[in-house]
Amino acid sequence: MATSTDSGAARQLEIAERLVSPPAHASSRLTWGMLLTYLLLSVGAIIMATPFIWMVLTSLKPATELVEFAFLPRNPTLDNYVAVLSANDFGRWYFNSLLIAVISTASVAFFDSLVGYTLNKFVFPGKTIIFIGILTTLMVPTEMLIIPWFNMSVQAGWNQGPAQYWGIVFPGVITAVGIFLMRQFFDGVPNELLDAARMDGVNEFGIFWRIALPLVKPAIAALCIFNFIGNWNAYLWPLIIASTREFYTLPVGLSFFRGETSTQWEKIMTGASLATVPLLIIFLLFQRQIIKGIALTGLKG
Amino acid sequence: MKLTLRRRQILWAYLFLSVSLLFFIVIRWYPTLLAFNISLRDWNIFQGTGPWVGAANYVDIWEDFQKPRSSIRAAFWNTLRYVLLGVPMQLVLALSVALLLDRIRLLAGFFRAAYFVPFVTSAVAVAFVWNWLYAPQVGLLNQLLKMLGLPMQQFLRNPDLALPSIAVVAVWRSIGFAIIIFLAGLQQIPDIYYEAAQIDGANRWQMFWRITLPLLNPVIVYLAVLQTIDFLRLFDLVLNMTNGGPLNRTTTVVLEVYNEGFSSYNMGYAAALTVILFGLILLITILQLRVLSRRVEY
């Protein structure tokens, strides 16, 4: 699991693939035991889902209905959405979160695979020391870096104006986890294929871009999914570096919105729904790929 | 001059690595060293420097830790409580669900998704949704307690219940991840072991204790370490659910880093706290490596 050999990449892909298909030994016969299994799983699933259902139901209720305990809204209304959207910058925060998640994910996909590829396929002095140097950064928690990053950003002016976008995104444009993952996956690309392209006079970047990269698409997809979700939900660093309202990401905006809304729960749940429902829909549409991707990156540690 | 193939390869390699090397040096390595440096200074954020004070910040932390009602003392003890409460709860629940999920075929995808959903949502939104569930009087949980004829609870405002209430949310949020990793581990145990045990007349209970659990051992250690580190870094739920209260009963080390560093601008002190956090994480990672490098007996 956390220990990994160079031949582990293909096996890990197979494990992740098996994970999203039904287990071979699983039974489909209906016995009392199976009935109990389904019953227990259903109780658990209800506990998992209730907070989200309650959040959406609350957001559809007028304030007066909150104190009278009824599960479903009697007079469902979208008034809360109109009020919250017109009085806040949710649209802008969506845009910011999307922009930051897309930029960092594109950058990570490119640089992590380029470095992973180089560390796997090239022979050059200093290779081991560079690889170890990159891996050791995994030991350092983000919390330890935020104070130095903040100091660097203030000196450079990255906490002012549009430079805040760069301020938010710069710590995550290349990741050690991604490099580690990609380095292993390039094992599956045969060297003969790359040598053949060299004979044909393709330059080294062309070999990487047009021949090696298309062969590791599943790993890149996993890396992108993992990274997109992480950046979309990132909180601590954007909270520290974004100093003006127009540059908040969705989680940061939501937490300030809460501070201004005190205990109007129908409004707060509307804000929470706005922040989560799009991601919930994306997740339900792509759940197989997302779970596969998380398993793949999770298995790497 | 014509370069040999080997020379050309070396040049290409360094060209490919250049941007990333610069990144790791400037954005990862230098700030790591800077964090140690800042922790030894009375750092002023606006000047980007400050007088060297040696171990004074660490001494301050130690002295604050010894004061009975200080938030630092509370933060370290609370963080330990989160770990001791959250990690076992997470592992037991996740393994139970994974064992159940591993048995079913029909609706397997549906259930897997249901348990996983909270993991992809923002912790801030999750914090507010649970604040509403835990709300005194009108919250869903208190309404349920009333329906069952039980006394209502203050949950997040009750100094004894606040920390466990947050730990429950943290477990709820990330249990899906642990379930997925457990499922992957379960599927790697060859069915033949169970078939052999069945022939020998072993019951389900014996198979679980003699086959499943020992073979899952590396997965359990891996998840325990990962989740211990997650709980050591707990921040966003706490900030948005209780902001460390009531009476510092839910505050964490990272929340103190945030308050000291970015509310009081006491950066040297905050940096020293992060160095201690780093030490704790390093210790746990090394312990994991030692445990995992032991061979599993079949």
**What is the full per-residue pLDDT of chain B (298 aa) written as tens digits?**
556 878 888 999 999 999 999 999 999 999 999 999 999 998 877 777 888 888 899 999 999 999 988 999 999 999 999 999 999 999 999 999 999 998 888 888 889 889 998 988 999 999 999 999 999 888 899 989 998 999 989 999 999 999 999 999 999 999 999 999 999 888 888 888 888 888 888 888 888 998 899 989 888 988 999 999 999 999 999 999 999 989 999 999 999 999 999 988 889 999 999 999 999 999 988 887 787 666 554 4
Each residue's pLDDT tens digit, A6-41: 446 667 777 777 777 766 666 666 788 889 999 999
What is the ipTM for the molecules in this complex? Answer: 0.90
Mark which residues 249-278 of A lie under 8 Å from B by CB. 250-252, 254-255, 258, 265, 268-269, 271-272, 275-276
pLDDT value of residue B21: 96
All residues of chain A having their beta carbon less than 8 Å from the beta carbon of residue B168 are: none
> Are A54 and B140 contacting, i.e. CB atoms less than 8 angstroms apart?
yes
Q: Which residues of B192-208 are buried (b: 16+ CB within 10 A; e: fewer)?
A: eebeebeeeebeeeebe
pLDDT value of residue A29: 67
Interface test with A, best of B21, B117, B168 (most A CBs within 10 A): B117
Chain B within 8 Å of A64 (Cβ-Cβ)?
Answer: no
Which residue has better confidence, A173 or B194?
A173
Which residue of A48, A147, A208 is in closest CB contact with B117? A48
A300: pLDDT confidence band, cut at 50, 70 and 90? low
Token pair recorded at residue A246: 């127009």
Q: Which residue of B has its CA nearest to A288?
A: B109
Size of interface A-B (CB pairs under 8 A): 298
Mark which residues 78-107 of A lie under 8 Å from B by CB. none
Q: Do B218 and A18 touch (CB under 8 A)?
A: no
The model's pTM: 0.90
Q: Do A147 and B271 touch (CB under 8 A)?
A: yes
In angstroms, rounded to a whole number, what is the distance separating the alpha carbons of residues A81 and B114? 26
- Candidates B254, B237, B113; CA nearest to B171 is B237
In angstroms, rounded to a whole number, what is the distance separating the alpha carbons of residues A19 and A292? 7
Residue with tokens 């604040």: B131
If 0-12 CB within 10 Å is exposed, 13-18 middle and 19+ buried, where does residue A132 land? exposed
> Are A134 and B24 contacting, i.e. CB atoms less than 8 angstroms apart?
yes
Each residue's pLDDT tens digit, B26-52: 999 999 999 999 999 988 777 778 888
Which residue of B105, B271, B277 is in closest CB contact with A141? B277
Which residue has better confidence, A166 or A28?
A166
Q: Which residue of B has its CA nearest to A274?
A: B125
Q: Which residue of B has its CA nearest to A120?
A: B13
If 0-12 CB within 10 Å is exposed, 13-18 middle and 19+ buried, where does residue B237 land? buried
Q: Do B113 and A284 touch (CB under 8 A)?
A: yes
pLDDT value of residue A1: 35
In angstroms, rounded to a whole number, what is the distance separating the alpha carbons of residues B136 and B152? 8
- Candidates B251, B248, B271; CA nearest to B261 is B271
pLDDT value of residue A17: 74
All residues of chain A having their beta carbon less than 8 Å from the beta carbon of residue B268 are: none
Evaluate the omega torsion of the peptide bond into residue B190 and state whether it is cis, within 30 degrees of 0: no
In angstroms, rounded to a whole number, what is the distance separating the alpha carbons of residues A249 and A52? 21
Q: Do B104 and A38 touch (CB under 8 A)?
A: yes
**How much is the average pLDDT of A161-178?**
94
pLDDT value of residue B166: 97
Q: Which backbone phi and psi does A226 adopt, to 5 degrees?
A: -55, -45
pLDDT value of residue B298: 45
**How much is the average pLDDT of A263-287?**
87
Q: Which residue of A has its CA nearest to B13?
A: A118
Q: Which backbone phi and psi does B41 adopt, to 5 degrees?
A: -130, 160
Q: Which residue of A has its CA nearest to B275?
A: A144
All residues of chain B having their beta carbon less than 8 Å from the beta carbon of residue A41 are: 97, 100-101, 104, 111
Q: Do A19 and B20 touch (CB under 8 A)?
A: no
Q: Do A54 and B140 touch (CB under 8 A)?
A: yes
pLDDT value of residue A289: 80
Which residue of B48, B128, B288 is in closest CB contact with A155? B48
All residues of chain A having their beta carbon less than 8 Å from the beta carbon of residue B103 are: 23, 26-27, 34, 37
